Structure formats: structure tokens, C-alpha cells
């Protein structure tokens, strides 16, 4: 081999080693959805990718189970532990069931946060709520109350799973302030497990069980669409108003048809972005997950952790016929 060839070979090897070292320096942050194929979490992934591009030294691993079960998430998380990712940011299907697996992740030096639907404190370093639970609870019942007839009426709730942390918290907060809306009579809660077909059947069941039902509140992006379709198919547009939390892109047609007067949601793109930013700064060690700590979250500003190491990103936003076209093209 000539001297020139040796020099070129040495340079090539050195360059490859430098490239490998640079790639190794990237933080690998796993964004774990409740289940793959749900529009809300797909939008959150867009935000995570935006944060990674802005930060420059982050690789996002977007993953989740095929169904909304704790068992599915545990399997995914075990795989991430084996891959030795730097951080896991999970929207939990069960507040307690994930704790042992996530504790194992933290014991191995992996930063763990929950976002959207929280994990019990023992299984994470912090929880990023999309908004404050009291405000969400008040918002969803107010959206129903605002469009009831003058004499009021019966309202039912279509939730996700019985163990879904955020759903249960929001509904509990809603019930706390239900007395502030004397025209609202909450008659029951059913669970569609964030499955479109089951949610559809549960909405049908509500209308059969409560023939005078005036509104269905679905604080889940899957459930609200299924309920709107069930009301449409039952020929009850204008009789049963569907509201709650949903994606503008998925609810635009139902708002225009009149089956949904209005609904609310935070921006899931912002939520995925903020969760990634928080996980990044904790994993880098330039922020701590402790009560009173402030953590920067890029263009969203900063969050301050409370005594339970939880923080709220932003207030929910109401969508109706006046603004649905503007936002449905975004997410």
C-alpha cells in the first residue's frame, strides 16, 4: 500500500470514528404513545420531531403498543430499556401498572417522564399535564351546559379506559363543579377503551338508555368522533350535542354538520414538543425534577413543577364553526 493510500485510509477510518462518536452523542428520547395509529399521538410526534430538529442533538424514537393496554406499553418499555435509550416520555394506559418497569428504567440511568396521561410518582421523575385538571374539568362541562335548552337536560360521559389517569382526573374535576351548572344533569359514564367501534356502541347505548339525553361529553379524541358518528347515524343531530376533547381535523365535518356545537383540546403538537424539551433538559442534567424547579420548554416558555413534580403546559382552547377551518388543516 502506498503512503498516499495509507493516509487516505487512515483519514477515512478517523472520519468514520468521528461520525460514529457524533451519532453516539445524540440523546435518544422515546416518545411512547398509548397506542399507535391515534391522530392525537401522531400529532404529538410531529411536535417531538420539531423539538429534536431545534435541539440538534436528539433522536426521537416514536413508539407504542397496538392497543391501549398497560401490558402492551410494558412490552414496549422493556424493549426501550434493552436499547438503552436516554429518556422515556410516556402517556400511560395505567397509572400504576407501568411503575415497576419504569422504576427499572430509572435504575439503569434512563430519564423517565410521563405526559398527557400520568404515571404514579414512584414510576417517573415528572408529569407534564396538557393543561390544569380543574380547568379541563370545568371546560368540558361548560361546553355541554352552554348549548343545552333553557330548561336544561341530561348529559352523559363517554370516557376511554377505566384506568386512564387523565380521563378519570378530568371527570372527577368535572363532577366537582357540576353543581355550578344547575341546568346539567349528569346521568352516567361509560367507557369505550379508546377503540372506535366500542366507543360507537357505547354512545348508541347511552342514547337508548337515556332517550331524553341532550349531550354526550367525550374527553377523548377517539370517543368524541365515535359519539358524533353515532348521533349522526341515529338521526339525532340537533337533539344530542357531542362535545369534549378532540382533534380539529377529525371533528371539522361534525362541527359543520351541527352534531358538535363546540369542543376543546390543547395543541398535541405543542404537547409532544414540550414533553421532548422537558425530557431533554432532565436527561442533560441542566434541569432537575423536584418541587419548585423550573424547566425550559423551548418556544412554549417554561414550566414550574408543583409538590407532586407535575406541571401544566397551557389552557385548553375551544373550537367551533368560527375557527374550525383554520385549525383543521394543522392538526
pLDDT at 24: 54
Q: What is the pLDDT of residues 62-100, one digit of tens each?
A: 999 999 999 999 999 999 999 999 999 999 999 999 999
Tell which residue, 60, 98, 100, 120, has the closest CA to residue 279. Answer: 60
Give the three-class secondary structure for 122: helix
Q: Is the pLDDT of residue 190 over 60?
A: yes
Q: Is the pLDDT of residue 199 over 90?
A: yes
Q: Which residue did the predictor score with more confidence, 98 or 165?
A: 98
pLDDT at 139: 96
Q: What is the pLDDT of residues 118-131, one digit of tens each?
A: 999 999 999 999 99
Residue 236 near residue 207 (C-beta atoms within 8 A): yes
Max CA pair span of the chain: 94
Q: Is the pLDDT of residue 299 over 80?
A: yes
Q: Which residue did the predictor score with more confidence, 198 or 12?
A: 198
pLDDT at 328: 93
Q: Which residue did the predictor score with more confidence, 114 or 21?
A: 114
Q: What is the pLDDT of residues 6-33, one digit of tens each?
A: 433 444 444 443 344 444 589 999 999 9
pLDDT at 116: 95
Query: Could you tell me the fold of the domain covering 3-129+268-313?
Result: Rossmann fold (3.40.50)
HEC string for 153-214: EEEEEEECCCCCHHHHHHHHHHHHCHHHCCCEEEEEEEECCCCHHHHHHHHHHHHHHCCCEE
Give the three-class secondary structure for 215: strand
Q: What is the pLDDT of residues 100-112, one digit of tens each?
A: 999 999 999 999 9
Averaged pLDDT, 299-303: 96
At residue 5 the predicted structure's pLDDT band, cuts being 50, 70 and 90, is very low
Give the three-class secondary structure for 260: coil
pLDDT at 12: 43
Q: What is the pLDDT of residues 310-327, one digit of tens each?
A: 999 988 999 999 999 999
Domain borders along the chain are 3-129+268-313, 133-265
Residues 6+ apart with CB under 8 A from 122: 99, 103
Class (C level, CATH) for 133-265: alpha beta
Measured CA to CA, the distance from residue 232 to residue 262 in angstroms comes to: 16
How does the average pLDDT of the chain come out, rounded? 93
pTM of structure: 0.80
pLDDT at 17: 39
Q: What is the pLDDT of residues 236-258, one digit of tens each?
A: 999 999 999 999 999 999 999 99
- Please tell me if the domain spanning 3-129+268-313 has the same topology as the one spanning 133-265: yes
Taking phi over 0 as left and psi of -120 to 50 as alpha, with beta for the rest, 70 belongs to: alpha
For the ranges 38-42, 164-168, 241-245, the maximum mean pLDDT occurs at: 241-245
Amino acid at each position: 500500500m502506498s503512503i498516499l493510500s495509507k493516509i487516505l485510509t487512515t483519514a477515512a477510518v478517523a472520519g468514520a470514528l468521528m461520525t460514529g462518536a457524533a451519532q453516539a452523542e445524540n440523546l435518544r428520547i422515546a416518545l411512547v404513545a398509548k397506542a399507535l395509529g391515534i391522530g392525537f399521538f401522531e400529532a404529538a410526534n410531529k411536535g417531538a420531531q420539531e423539538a429534536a430538529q431545534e435541539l440538534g442533538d436528539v433522536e426521537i424514537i416514536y413508539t407504542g403498543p397496538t392497543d391501549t393496554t398497560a401490558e402492551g406499553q410494558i412490552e414496549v418499555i422493556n424493549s426501550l430499556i434493552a436499547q438503552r435509550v436516554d429518556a422515556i416520555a410516556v402517556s400511560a394506559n395505567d397509572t400504576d401498572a407501568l411503575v415497576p418497569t419504569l422504576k427499572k428504567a430509572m435504575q439503569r440511568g434512563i430519564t423517565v417522564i410521563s405526559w398527557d396521561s400520568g404515571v404514579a410518582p414512584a414510576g417517573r421523575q415528572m408529569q407534564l399535564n396538557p393543561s390544569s385538571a380543574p380547568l379541563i374539568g370545568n371546560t368540558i362541562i361548560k361546553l355541554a351546559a352552554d348549548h343545552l335548552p333553557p330548561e336544561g337536560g341530561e348529559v352523559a360521559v363517554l370516557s376511554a379506559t377505566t384506568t386512564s389517569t387523565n380521563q378519570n382526573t378530568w371527570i372527577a374535576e368535572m363532577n366537582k363543579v357540576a353543581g355550578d351548572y344547575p341546568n346539567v344533569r349528569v346521568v352516567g359514564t361509560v367507557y369505550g377503551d379508546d377503540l372506535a367501534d366500542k366507543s360507537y356502541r357505547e354512545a348508541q347505548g347511552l342514547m337508548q338508555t337515556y332517550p331524553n339525553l341532550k349531550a354526550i361529553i367525550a374527553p377523548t379524541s377517539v370517543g368524541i368522533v365515535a359519539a358524533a358518528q353515532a348521533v349522526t347515524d341515529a338521526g339525532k343531530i340537533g337533539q344530542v350535542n357531542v362535545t369534549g376533547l378532540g382533534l380539529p381535523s377529525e371533528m371539522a365535518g361534525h362541527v359543520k354538520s351541527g352534531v358538535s356545537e363546540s369542543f376543546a383540546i390543547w395543541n398535541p403538537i405543542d404537547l409532544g414538543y414540550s414533553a421532548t424539551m422537558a425530557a431533554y433538559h432532565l436527561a442533560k442534567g441542566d434541569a432537575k425534577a423536584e418541587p419548585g424547579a423550573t424547566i425550559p420548554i423551548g418556544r412554549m416558555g417554561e414550566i414550574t413543577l408543583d409538590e407532586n413534580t407535575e406541571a401544566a403546559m397551557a389552557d385548553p382552547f375551544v373550537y367551533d364553526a368560527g375557527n374550525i377551518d383554520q385549525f383543521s388543516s394543522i392538526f
